[in-house]
Structure 1
Amino acid sequence: MILDLVINTQHTPYYQRIFHGKRRDLGQNYHWEPTGGVEIYASEAHFLISAGGYWVEPPRNHGELFTDTDAGWAVPTTLMPTAGGINRNDFIRIEGSQDDRLRINTCVAPRFACGMNPTVPERYLSNKDCADVREGAPGTDGGWAFIDASGRCPAPFPNDGLYVAVFKAQCQSDECINHGGFYGFFEVQPADEGISFDTFRESVLHNNDHPYDWAAPNQYITASGHTIM
């Protein structure tokens, strides 16, 4: 079954969370106790969303006093298209906090991810016919970027078979600003499910016509009508 999920890209969509054990609070005294990270994946035929996880200290007692080589480092949460992309800088992603040890990239759901400092690579913004960017004014509720990577625009614009909506807002508190200055999320929609790019964009805007607060519970309704909280 595992090999089928890895090799067969036309498999049934899956959402998987793997928990490797308790994570010690950074403020606790160190003692001999194994700790673990987390893996979260949301996969479909055209893409994989992979959570970046969080930092965990090396497994040996006081090992981090000498080297961080064996530490578990959190990385960006990425939207990885099946069709292409060489490294994470090519991907739409959630960078997370600028502080390596405070980066917690675990917000992943089917077709959705959220967190600090969402980033859209320039290659997804290079053709305005397929990149509708709606910048929010400073201090407002944020701005949207709608990406039509279905193949409608010619190369070198990406042909991933996907539509993507990305929301990005400026932080309004010192705590949030200290982590990098922005927060947000993205939703991905396969382009071969009978929904047009215009319909996807208008559904996202209609379903989520309300402000978001980085420090409070929020609600997002996907283009297909599913609620994420």
Structure 2
Amino acid sequence: MTRFAPAQHVFHHGRRSQMPKADENADGGVEIYHHSASFLLTVGGMWLNSGYGMDEFTGYKQVAIAQSTTLMFTRAFDVRVKPEDVDLRIELDTKFADLIRFDRWPSVDDDGEALERDAVNTAVHTGFACGANLEMSDLWLQLGGATWDGPWLFLDLNRPAEALPEHLRPYGPLGAYVAIYRTTLGPADVELLESQYDAVPPKNVGFLYAMEADAVDPATGTAMTFAAFRDGIRARNTTFPNPLVWAAFYVFHSPDNHKYDFWLRSDQHKYRPRVELDDQTLPPGGFEALPLVGGPYLRTPGGHDGRFEVRHPGCDHPLVLDFSDQHNPVCLDNIAACPQPWLDRGYALLVFAQTLLNAGKRTEAAGAMVERVRVYQRMAEADRGTYLPRVAIALFELVLHHRAGLSPASALAFAHDGLAAYEELAGLREPGSQDPVDYDHLAAFTPNDYWGRHLLSGALWNLAWVLKDAGDTPAAAGWMVRRVRVYERLVQVDPVRWQPEPTQAQADAAAFGT
């Protein structure tokens, strides 16, 4: 798979219009997702009213509360092991309890009354996160070959499989480095928070920083080693106290020369950002001043006006989804300018179909191949000359290898579509024409590269076999005769190359009863 640079997208839902009979506006939520090749870092959010009014009378069943801020490693899910080791696969799959995360605080007071309204988990920026109740399982210590060094922990999660404990080797290298700083609170903060919330204070507070193991080291211009990651963080961050102080402001310096200013508190002031990168401050309104979504690949330049721009790495021409006029939504496509995502999808569907077929799921495999055809047809609508060949080969492979997973009517329709595509590519049919091709009079046409085996000839073969499978042997034989005519014309133009083919084509036609 193609690896792309890490990307972060920040969402602010905005305030909705007040509902009829509601006594309040709905709060706008905040979502932050930092995606890198090896991990995903997400915020847990905040308490939000429902916007329907009278939440207290419905037991707050429709409100939102802060969840955990989580660091998830892509390759730690659906861990690949030997097929027979089903129990081991289930055991190795990462579960919520395994995640490195900041659980919300405050949650409940000493009497069990909910305090979720005050909890805020939005402290994420690129690979950095901070908060209270930092939890992690021993799994990461084992995978990283690490132990705590006072408040610091450094995890090399890119170690090769042979360096891991035997039962964890299916994880292999996860591709990331992680640094964690975690302390308990001092007595003064414990007393302050106990008094303020009448609740057990956080078990700990801290921060983490994650980055790709192959990120460039500014000092060398090559991939950063784990030692450089660890030593660079220790050398740049020598002033963090132990214990950390609640609601204090700190600065973290990353080994790739970035600076994170952060506010270490997970309660109240829910629309105030906790983390700023390289002095790039947010507008005075904090999260509430942000558009619906901002990031390199998805953005709403107009704020909350309903116009979305969707981009792909390597292409700055966006797909535009414009809902600003609710009665006239508009889609401005970018397929012609940015075909690569569609090409990638077509290839992924081919691989997925083969996987399904190998698992004995013929109908599902055929469905994936049909979707592949639809992808290329959509591309051909934007640029027929460039992408019609992909439509043709996708139809050919669908019918040749997957017709058993199609209904007879669908198989016949796709076979006809595939033949029509190759007839157009072969120069026998004008685009959009429904007139049948007269295969008994091909002398007026000069064969091109689309006439031969697995092309026009292959499409005729497919159609004949679909008809034969349906019990229409006379019609099937007729199409096999047309295939003979194609090879006869090819021999007229290039006898050296095509001389053996008419004889074989005639034998194939004879097998159909001609």
Q: Does 1:219 align with 2:251?
A: yes
Give, in whole Å, the separation in 1 of the partners of 2:44 and 2:192.
21
Alignment TM-score, normalising by the size of structure 2: 0.38
Q: Which segment drifts farther, 188-197 or 174-183?
A: 174-183
Partner of 1:110: 126
Which has the larger Rg?
A: 2
Q: Secondary structure of the residue that 1:126 maps to in structure 2?
A: helix
Aligned with 1:201: secondary structure?
A: helix
Whether 2:172 is the aligned partner of 1:156: answer no
Distance of 1:196 and 1:12 partners within structure 2: 18
Q: Is the 2:55–2:61 Cα contact (8 Å) retained in structure 1?
A: no
- State the one-letter code of the partner of 1:78: T
Tell whether 2:149 aligns with 1:144: no
Separation of aligned partners in 2, 1:113 and 1:74: 15
> Relative to total residues, which structure has the larger helix share, 1 or 2?
2
Change (3 A) 1:34 1:61: same
Residues 1:120 and 2:136 aligned together: yes
The correspondence for 2:96, drawn from 81, 88, 91, is: 88
Counterpart AA for 2:69: T
| 1:66 has 2:78 as partner | no
Distance 1:166 1:218 in 2: 15
Equivalent in the alignment of 1:165: 179
Tell me the equivalent position of 2:147: 132
Q: 2:210 aligns with which of 165, 169, 188?
A: 188
Deviation at 1:213, TM superposition (A): 3.0
CA displacement at 1:109 relative to structure 2: 0.8
1:146/1:164 contact within 8 Å kept: yes
Counterpart pick for 2:239 among 204, 210, 219: 210
Whether 1:33 and 2:25 are equivalent positions in the alignment is yes
In the alignment, the residues of structure 2 paired with residue 98 and residue 123 of structure 1 have an alpha-carbon distance, to the nearest angstrom, of: 27
Q: Is the 8 A contact 2:46 2:120 kept in 1?
A: yes
Task: Using the TM superposition, give the Cα deviation of residue 63 of structure 1 relative to its aligned residue in structure 2, in angstroms.
Answer: 2.0
CA RMSD of aligned residues (A): 2.3
Match of 2:381 in 1: none
Task: Encode CA deviations 1:101-133: one digit per residue, 9 max, x unaligned.
Answer: 322110111111111111221101236x72131
CA distance in 2, matches of 1:223, 1:38: 28
The structural deviation recorded for 1:9 is 7.3
Q: 1:88 to 1:64 in 2, by over 3 A?
A: farther
Larger deviation, residues 60-69 vs 100-109: 60-69
Distance 1:52 1:9 in 2: 29
> What is the DSSP-based 3-state SS (H/G/I as helix, E as strand, rest coil) of the residue aligned with 2:49?
coil
User: Residues of 2 paired with 1:9 and 1:67: CA distance?
Assistant: 48
Q: Which moved more, 1:176-185 or 1:96-105?
A: 176-185
85-94 or 72-81, larger mean C-alpha shift: 85-94
Distance 1:101 1:175 in 2: 19
Query: 1:175 Cα shift?
Result: 3.8
Secondary structure, aligned partner of 2:27: coil
Does the 8 Å CA contact 1:53/1:104 hold for their aligned counterparts? yes
Q: Could you say what secondary structure the match of 2:202 adopts?
A: coil
Partner of 2:428: none
Q: Partner of 1:168: helix, strand, or coil?
A: strand
C-alpha displacement of 1:156? 1.2
Cα offset, 1:21, TM superposition: 2.3
Count of paired positions: 208
Is residue 9–residue 45 contact of structure 1 (8 Å, CA) maintained in 2?
A: no
* In structure 2, C-alpha distance between the alignment counterparts of 1:36 and 1:122, rounded to whole Å: 37
Higher RCO, Cα 8 Å, sep 6+: 1
Residue 33 of structure 2 is aligned to residue 17 of structure 1:
no
